[in-house]
Structures are given as C-alpha cells and as structure tokens.
C-alpha cells in the first residue's frame, strides 16, 4: 500500500505499512516456531509507542537519558564528522534525539522511518515546529523489508547519513543484525554513512531492572502486543493468562523478553488454533548487548568500517560513526 497522508502544516508522510495479510503471515510463522515468537515491530502500534516513551522515563531505563545527553554534548563534533546531507533516521519513534544534530548540521534535511504511523506523524509535526527551516519527510514502513528508499527530492541528490539510535540493532538476532546493516548500506547508497547507538553488556541486576521496571510499564508494553493482535488480526489472547518476564542470558549476551503462559490454554489467531503449555514462553523481543569490539566485528562483516566513536563517561553505550568499507 502506498499513499500520501499529507495534511496542511505537517511534513509529508508516505505510508508503506505492511498489509494485514503480510502481518498474518508473520504471526503464523512466528507462532509456528519453538519457542513461539513475534517480530519486535509488532510491539509498536500507537499505544505501544506511547508506552515505549513511558519506559524511557522510568528511573531504571537509563539508555535514552544517557544517549540523549551524549548526543547533546557531542553534537558539534558529530555534525562535523557527518558532513552535509540528508539525515535518514531508522525507527525514529518520537524523534527526540535528533534535534541537537539538526541544530549543529549545515543545511540538513531529515527523513524519519518508523512502523508506527500515527506516532510518526505526531513526531514529525512536533519536530517540524521545533526546526521550521529543515525539510522533512516521514515514511511509515518496516525498514528491514524496504527494497529502496522512495524516489523523493530529499533523497535524490544529497548524501544519505543514516541515524539509528536507541541500540535498536539489538532487537535483531546477530545474523539478522548483520543482514540489516547490509540493508542499510544498500538503502543509504554510495558515500552513505551510519551513526548508530549501541548499548554494552552490564551488570545483570541493572539490565533486568531496566527491562522490567518497578512501575510495570515494560510489562504493559509487552502485553499490549497481545491486545494489538486481538484488535488488528482478530485473535483471542486472554491477557490475564500471560505474565511478563525479562531475563539476561549471558551466553547469548541478550535480554530475553517473554510472556509466560499461566496455564495450559489454546488461542485462536489467523485462522488457526495455537496451544500453549503452562509455563510456555512467547518471545516478544530480545535486546542484544555488544561490546564495541564485538559490534565493530559485526559491522565489518556487513561492509562497514569505523570512522569515529563517542561514549558516555560511564561507558554504558557508544555512538559509532561508520563509513562504507570499500
Ligand atoms: C526502541 S524504539 C527506539 C526509538 C528511538 N529511535 C529512540 O532511540 O528512542 C524502536 C523504534 O523503532 C520502530 N521500529 C521497530 N522496528 C521497526 C521496523 N522493522 N521498521 C520500522 N520501524 C521500526 C518502533 O516503532 C520504535 O519507534
């Protein structure tokens, strides 16, 4: 589906959201696996995006505050290293991190990609008000499946400077992360660069608290996925019969976020009956943590080389600037 949802006074928005039939197919594929799992982007309907913003405000979840501060502190150096071009943000969410870069860059343009259509429209509108002189475009899509960026004046002649904060690469398995970095290389084209935020492994208690906050927002975020499937795809998950769990798996270097079936039960979804044993896990998301060395080895396999790196004083995370290796 391709349509333009432009309204007066807000940036142009292209809607390339996957069709319901494609979503159904992904649900069938995910629930057929052992353990059962679903693509992480399903977490982000309008309510999921709202809850994610709330997670970022929880005291246990320091990633957003740390990365935002790093971007504010180092914006001039990053802008100088990026050079001129169109910033293309993958998974922009509320687009609250890009402001200092837009401020510091010479004549920037901005393209935001995100799967959550309404949230993207609101984010772009707010950002446009804050930066009225910056040409902007929003694209609602699954960036991992995009064959190419649309032919649009903002993307035609300028260099494409990828921006992928939030350590969102961690939501992909290592093999899928490598494929995604190759995909970004293709989308950004010759001369394209990528500024990417990567969270590092840290103490188990810190990580598990960050992904299972005391206020229960992370749990509501995960359960909203079932609510979303019930509403959008007509499934009949009973939300009271699943309990959220976040667990650090050191051998995989990832946090595993699951919904645990509280009893033996069946669920109707996408025209099929799915059986859940008592205690069976449905994986909603994983968050892989990379040391700088492990990340750069992965990036190198995908054809990227390190140009620069900025870290916070506590060395919790890094923003890496990558250039194409050949
Ligand atoms: C973890 S949040 C990060 C948001 C923001 N970049 C930040 O750093 O705070 C991930 C964002 O990426 C979007 N997203 C996740 N998977 C996506 C996909 N496959 N294609 C497009 N957007 C995606 C979600 O809607 C959400 O806004």
pLDDT per residue as tens, the chain (326 positions): 333 444 445 789 999 999 999 999 999 999 999 999 999 999 999 999 999 999 999 999 999 999 999 999 999 999 999 999 999 999 999 999 999 999 999 999 999 999 999 999 999 999 999 999 999 999 999 999 999 999 999 998 789 999 999 999 999 999 999 999 999 999 999 999 999 999 999 999 999 999 999 999 999 999 999 999 999 999 999 999 999 999 999 999 999 999 999 999 999 999 999 999 999 999 999 999 999 999 999 999 999 999 999 999 999 999 999 999 97
d(CA 219, CA 140): 26
d(CA 38, CA 34): 11
The closest-lying atom of ligand 1 relative to the alpha carbon of residue 93 is: 27
- Are 323 and 193 a contacting pair, CB within 8 Å? yes
If one residue of 22, 55, 114, 145 were mutated to test the ligand 1 pocket, choosing by the most ligand atoms within 8 A of its CB, it would be 114
Q: Specify whether the backbone of 273 is left (phi greater than 0), alpha (psi in -120 to 50) or beta.
A: beta
Paired residues of 114 in beta bridges: 140
Selected from 3.40.640.10, 3.30.565.10, 3.30.70.260, 3.40.50.150, the CATH number assigned to the domain covering 7-15+59-202+290-324 reads: 3.40.50.150
CA 92–ligand 1 middle distance (angstroms): 6
Paired residues of 51 in beta bridges: none
Which residue shows structure tokens 């309404």? Answer: 118
- Are 63 and 210 a contacting pair, CB within 8 Å? yes
What pLDDT does 35 receive?
96
Q: Which own/partner pairs from 213-218 qualify as long-range (CB within 8 Å, at least 24 positions apart)?
A: 213/55, 213/58, 213/59, 213/60, 213/61, 214/58, 214/60, 215/58, 217/51, 217/54, 217/55, 217/58, 218/55, 218/58, 218/244, 218/246, 218/257
Retrieve residue 324's tokens. 């194409």
Phi, psi of 81 (to 5 degrees): -70, -35
Report pLDDT digits (tens) over 242-268: 999 999 999 999 999 999 999 999 999
CA distances from 92 to 8, 44, 272 (A): 22, 12, 34
Distance of CA 51 to the CA centre of its chain: 14
What pLDDT does 207 receive?
98
Ligand 1 pocket, Cβ-based, cut-off 6 angstroms: 40-41, 44, 49, 52, 64, 91-93, 97, 113-116, 142-144, 165-166, 168
pTM: 0.96
The closest-lying atom of ligand 1 relative to the alpha carbon of residue 96 is: 9
If one residue of 18, 63, 91 were mutated to test the ligand 1 pocket, choosing by the most ligand atoms within 8 A of its CB, it would be 91
d(CA 86, CA 156): 10
- Are 155 and 113 a contacting pair, CB within 8 Å? no
- Laid out side by side, the sheet with 86-90 consists of 3-4, 12-15, 136-140, 109-114, 86-90, 160-164, 193-199, 317-324, 304-311
Report pLDDT digits (tens) over 211-235: 999 999 999 999 999 999 999 999 9
If one residue of 44, 51, 63, 317 were mutated to test the ligand 1 pocket, choosing by the most ligand atoms within 8 A of its CB, it would be 44
CA 117–ligand 1 middle distance (angstroms): 11
CA 293–ligand 1 middle distance (angstroms): 24
Phi, psi of 246 (to 5 degrees): -125, 125
Paired residues of 276 in beta bridges: 265
Distance of CA 94 to the CA centre of its chain: 11
Domain with CATH 3.40.50.150 in the chain: 7-15+59-202+290-324
Question: Which residues lie closer than 8 Å to 217 by C-beta, 6 or more apart?
Answer: 51, 54, 55, 58
The closest-lying atom of ligand 1 relative to the alpha carbon of residue 67 is: 8
């Amino acid at each position: 589906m391709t349509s333009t949802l432009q309204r007066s006074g807000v940036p142009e928005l292209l809607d390339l959201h996957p069709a319901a039939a494609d979503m159904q197919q992904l649900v069938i594929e995910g629930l057929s696996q052992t353990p059962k799992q679903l693509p992480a982007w399903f977490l982000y309907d309008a309510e999921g995006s709202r809850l994610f913003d709330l997670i970022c405000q929880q005291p246990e979840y320091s990633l957003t505050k740390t990365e935002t501060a790093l971007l504010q502190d180092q914006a001039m150096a990053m802008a100088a290293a990026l050079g001129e071009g169109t910033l293309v943000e993958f998974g922009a969410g509320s687009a609250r991190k890009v402001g200092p870069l837009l401020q510091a860059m010479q004549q920037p343009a901005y393209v935001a990609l995100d799967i959550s259509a309404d949230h993207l429209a609101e984010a772009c509108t707010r950002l446009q008000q804050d930066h009225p002189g910056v040409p902007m475009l929003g694209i609602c899509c699954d960036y991992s499946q995009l064959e190419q960026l649309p032919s649009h004046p903002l993307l035609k002649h300028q260099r494409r400077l990828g921006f992928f904060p939030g350590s969102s690469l961690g939501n992909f398995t290592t093999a899928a992360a490598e494929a995604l970095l190759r995909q970004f290389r293709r989308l950004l084209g010759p001369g394209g660069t990528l500024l990417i935020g990567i969270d590092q492994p840290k103490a188990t208690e810190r990580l598990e608290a960050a992904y299972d906050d005391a206020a229960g927002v992370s749990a509501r975020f995960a359960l909203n996925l079932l609510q979303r499937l019930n509403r959008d795809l007509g499934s009949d998950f009973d939300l009271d019969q699943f309990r959220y769990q976040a667990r650090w798996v050191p051998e995989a270097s990832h946090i595993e976020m699951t919904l645990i079936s509280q009893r033996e039960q069946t669920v109707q979804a996408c025209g099929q009956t799915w059986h859940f044993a008592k205690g069976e896990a449905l994986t909603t998301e994983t968050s892989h943590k990379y040391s700088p060395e492990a990340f750069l080895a992965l990036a190198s396999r995908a054809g990227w080389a390190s140009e620069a790196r900025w870290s916070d004083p506590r060395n919790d995370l890094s923003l890496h600037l990558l250039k194409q290796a050949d």
